[in-house]
């Protein structure tokens, strides 16, 4: 199946991403701590993440000209987050630094025996982006605009602007909130996480839910399914399945973000849906082999080596 979209080429960036950035404080523990416990941490890692930011880092790693638009806190954690994006070769010239505000962060307690995790997170209201902060200069400079649906009213405005200016809008749909329906209506390609289709439509059957979403606007709809890979809605309402890759999984955090980065790469290469999904599944699986939301980001050779290993290239 082909994507069948004309994508413009006359802009400064291949892709612009607007949405979350965050910093995870990962603590791998010998066991899940009881309330009031005092325990040594086996492994600690300060790991940058956030859906849109991590997707842009994967895009840059694949050689795309990528730009991240969003807000970071004016604190040390915000600085760490911003530097991690910049260091990956992603343009951050339009990132807003919110002085006096703490960056989005999470404390993640991982049970080293099972991989089960307890997540404590913090996102101050002041870090939210509002629709008036979305200008064409910021969000229309790419062939593709990636949105993750957080700050949904601002994302919906960005999608509207991007379409007016000829960028293709890709949505990593995860949560349903005020503004999500407007955002979906202005999306061209929607690749949801597994719970979104039923949350958004109230329909449990994935094929039916994805069909309802496509009626709401996007010309292409799909969902990721964790280790099972991903499915896309075919032209006849059927599901096109692309299985996941078996790897030595250390941490699945950020897998969906990396999937979306690789997905945009395949889209811009003019690949078929099948080839793009195989590539995206492989990139996401590799990211799961190391700790952190961007722990195992790989380049094209490494991703294609995994695809070849399974005879899928």
Q: In the chain, how many H helices and how many E strands?
A: 10, 14
Count interface residues toward Mg ion (CB under 5 A).
Answer: 2
Nearer to Mg ion, 140 or 196 (CB): 196
Q: Which is nearer to Mg ion, 187 or 193 (CB)?
A: 193
- Which positions from 185 to 204 touch Mg ion by CB under 5 A, shown as an x/- string? --------x-----------
| Distance spanning both ends of the chain, measured CA to CA | 16
Name the residue number minimizing CB distance to ligand ATP: 256
* Residue 227 in contact with ligand ATP, rule: CB under 6 A: yes
Q: Which is nearer to Mg ion, 244 or 256 (CB)?
A: 256
The alpha carbons of the chain give a radius of gyration, in whole angstroms, of: 19
Give how many residues touch ligand ATP by CB under 6 A: 23
Binding part of the chain for ligand ATP, among 129-137, 155-163, 239-247, 298-306 by CB under 6 A, reads: 239-247
CA gap 250, 83 in Å, rounded: 25
Q: Which stretch binds Mg ion (CB under 5 A): 80-88, 132-140, 256-264, 271-279?
A: 256-264
Alpha-carbon span 64 to 144, nearest angstrom: 11
User: Is 261 an interacting residue with respect to Mg ion (CB under 5 A)?
Assistant: no
Least distance (Å) between residue 193 CB and Mg ion = 5
Q: In whole angstroms, give the CA distance from residue 213 to residue 156.
A: 16
**CA 150 – CA 180 distance, rounded (Å):** 9
Binding to ligand ATP in span 255-294, by CB under 6 A: 255-257, 259, 281, 284-285, 288
Q: Near ligand ATP by CB under 6 A, which window of 40-48, 200-208, 221-229, 299-307?
A: 221-229
Q: Which is nearer to ligand ATP, 73 or 254 (CB)?
A: 254
CB of 133 to Mg ion, least distance (A): 23
Site for ligand ATP contains 194 (CB under 6 A): yes
**CB within 8 Å of 21: residues ≥ 6 apart:** 48, 49, 50, 52, 53, 68, 70, 72, 81, 82, 85, 103, 104
To the nearest 10 degrees (0 to 180), the angle between helices 51-61 and 76-87 is 30
Task: For residue 293, report the phi and psi dihedrals to the nearest 5 degrees.
Answer: -65, -25
Degrees, nearest 5: CA angle 85-91-94: 100
Residue 253 binding result from ligand ATP, Mg ion, none, given CB thresholds of 5 to 8 Å by partner type: ligand ATP
CB 282 within 8 A of CB 213: no
Applying CB under 6 A, the residues found at the interface with ligand ATP are: 193-194, 224-227, 229-230, 244-245, 247, 249, 252-257, 259, 281, 284-285, 288
């Amino acid at each position: 199946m082909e994507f069948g979209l004309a994508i413009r080429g006359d802009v400064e960036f291949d892709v612009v991403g607007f949405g979350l950035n965050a910093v995870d404080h990962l603590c791998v523990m010998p066991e899940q701590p009881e309330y009031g416990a005092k325990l040594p941490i086996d492994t600690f890692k300060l790991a940058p993440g956030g859906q849109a930011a991590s997707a842009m880092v994967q895009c840059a790693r694949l050689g795309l000209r990528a730009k991240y638009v969003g807000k970071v806190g004016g604190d040390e954690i915000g600085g760490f987050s911003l530097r991690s994006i910049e260091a990956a070769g992603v343009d951050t010239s339009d990132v807003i630094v919110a002085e006096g505000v703490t960056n989005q962060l999470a404390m993640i307690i991982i049970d080293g025996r099972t991989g089960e995790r307890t997540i404590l997170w913090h996102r101050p209201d002041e870090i939210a982006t509002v629709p008036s902060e979305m200008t064409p200069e910021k969000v229309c400079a790419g062939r593709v605009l990636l949105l993750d649906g957080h700050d949904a009213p601002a994302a919906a405005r960005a999608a509207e602007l991007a379409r007016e200016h000829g960028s293709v809008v890709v949505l990593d749909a995860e949560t349903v909130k005020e503004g999500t329906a407007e955002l979906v209506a202005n999306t061209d390609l929607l690749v949801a996480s597994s719970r979104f289709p039923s949350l958004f439509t109230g329909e449990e059957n994935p094929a039916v839910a994805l069909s309802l979403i496509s009626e709401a606007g996007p010309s292409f709809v799909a969902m990721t399914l964790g280790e099972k890979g991903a499915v896309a809605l075919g032209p006849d309402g059927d599901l096109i399945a692309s299985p996941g890759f078996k790897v030595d999984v250390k941490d699945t955090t950020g897998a969906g973000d990396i999937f979306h980065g690789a997905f945009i790469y395949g889209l811009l290469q003019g690949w078929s849906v099948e080839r793009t999904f195989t590539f995206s599944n492989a990139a996401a699986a590799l990211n799961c082999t190391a700790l952190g939301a961007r722990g195992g980001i790989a380049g094209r050779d490494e991703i294609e080596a995994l695809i070849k290993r399974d005879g899928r290239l």
